[in-house]
Amino acid sequence: MFPEEYRGDAFVAQHGSWNRSDPFGYRILRVRFDQEGRPVSKAVFAYGWLQDEEAWGRPVDIKELDDGSLLVSDDTADVIYRITLSENP
């Protein structure tokens, strides 16, 4: 479902901190790898679970479906999100 450049990448759920004065995490990272399988870069892929230092959700785990979409579980909002690629943004 995602462009060719995403193939072989890893998606990491950052559950979020619970005991920091400055909250951190609450997002999904995309990790890119080189041809030898070594990580070469990371970038925020999805965010928004933390707004104005208040967490309304916490991503826990990610599963890729056969169609290439991603399921993301959230143990604070008690939901599962499905992330898809839209042809028309």
Q: What are phi and psi of 6, to 5 degrees?
A: -90, -15
Tens-digit pLDDT profile for residues 17-48:
878 778 889 999 999 999 999 999 999 999 99
Tens-digit pLDDT profile for residues 2-24:
888 888 999 999 998 878 778 88
DSSP, collapsed to helix, strand or coil, labels residue 4 as helix
Residues 6+ apart with CB under 8 A from 75: 15, 58, 60
Alpha helices in 1-89 (DSSP H): none
Name which of 24, 62, 56, 27 is nearest 44 in CA terms. 27
88 pLDDT exceeds 70? no
On whether the CB atoms of residues 12 and 63 are closer than 8 A, the answer is: no
Q: Which pTM value belongs to this model?
A: 0.85
